[in-house]
Amino acid sequence: MKTSATPKIVAAALFLLVLLVGVPLLISATGRTDLYYTLTSVALLSIISAGVWITFYIGRINIGQGAYALMGGYVSAILVMNYGVSFWLTLPLAGLFCAAASVLIGLPILRLRGVYFAMVTLVLTEVARLLALAIPITNGAKGIVSIPLPTGISFFGITLVPDFSNLANPRLAFYIVAVLLMALCFLGLYRLAHSRIGQLCQSLQQNEELASSIGVNIAYLRVVAYALSSFLGGVGGAMFASISQSIYPSSFTVADSVNFMLNCFLGGLGYVLGPMLGTFVLYFGWDVLFQTGEYQLLIFSTVLILLMLVLPNGLLSLALPGKRSV
């Protein structure tokens, strides 16, 4: 193990310790158990936004992540409600279903670049919403409600995961699961960014023609990156459906897809942790601006534009100037 990686490992371990131990202790002391749902939402939104970051890494502006989050939520809900599949099994299945769908969708549209790709992906979320309204298995506008809480997991009589319905505070359990998923997600992104495939993906962002001329299979990399992006969207959507115990066609809209993109911009496209920081700031910043009433959207838009002008590399460029993919 390289010595230079040790401080990062220690910092990541301390950060995870604070989230898993420090935050629950603080919430317990203050009695603000409602914060569990809020912080769980932030963790899940950062996972979905991390998928958008992957597509930015290959030079594509993705504004359609809401479609895969909605798709993942419905896949999980349908498998749990209609077929009695354990939620824990539906979590990866929802991600894989979205990844498979993204391959079929991505093969033709990933040839597009810039605003053309962005326009097509923007339509995807609305298409997913209309399909959810039209297909009988999704129950139309009524959505799918009363989704049972995740059941326990046992191995040779040893309980690995308790039944959430038997817990005094299921929101704490959801929070822990969401934090662990978020940690796995960003650990995977870090390894991807520092791997050979990550370097090849970055070459696509800089110059696809040059990358192709030296033998890089750019079509394969584009599809793989888009599939990984959609997988994260599906997993995040499945978790959202479980914690809210419901899923509707309007659960993820075009506005959500835009916010997933903004999370990446705000945190910093050149930083692995950019989607996490961007999600946190955007989520709580919007709530703070709620106090301004009718001027909320005006102030929000103005602040975002100013940040993009002053900090084009995102908020993390303040603390980590000159560094990328950290």
Q: What is the pLDDT of residues 291-310, one digit of tens each?
A: 888 888 888 889 888 888 88
What number is the average pLDDT over the span 86-107? 96
321 pLDDT band (50/70/90 cuts)?
A: low
Q: What's residue 240's pLDDT?
A: 95
Q: What's residue 160's pLDDT?
A: 81
323 pLDDT band (50/70/90 cuts)?
A: low
Which of 135-144, 192-201, 232-241 is predicted with the least confidence, judged by mean pLDDT? 192-201
- Taken in order 311, 316, 321, 322, the sign of the CA dihedral is negative
Q: What's residue 293's pLDDT?
A: 80
Residue 89 has pLDDT above 70, yes or no: yes
Alpha-carbon span 55 to 85, nearest angstrom: 31
What number is the average pLDDT over the span 171-183? 95
275 pLDDT band (50/70/90 cuts)?
A: very high
Q: What's residue 208's pLDDT?
A: 80
Asked if 314 contacts 269 with a C-beta cutoff of 8 angstroms, the reply is yes
Q: What's residue 308's pLDDT?
A: 81
Strand 153-155 to 158-161 pairing? antiparallel
Q: What's residue 211's pLDDT?
A: 80
Residue 97: burial class (beta carbons within 10 Å; 0-12, 13-18, 19+): buried
Question: With pLDDT > 70 as the criterion, what percentage of the chain qualifies?
Answer: 96
Closest Cα to residue 181, out of 276, 84, 58? Answer: 276
Q: What's residue 289's pLDDT?
A: 83
Q: What's residue 231's pLDDT?
A: 97
Alpha-carbon span 231 to 43, nearest angstrom: 16
Residue 1 has pLDDT above 50, yes or no: no
| Per-residue pLDDT reduced to its tens digit, 28-58 | 999 888 899 999 999 999 999 999 999 998 8
Asked if 279 contacts 46 with a C-beta cutoff of 8 angstroms, the reply is yes
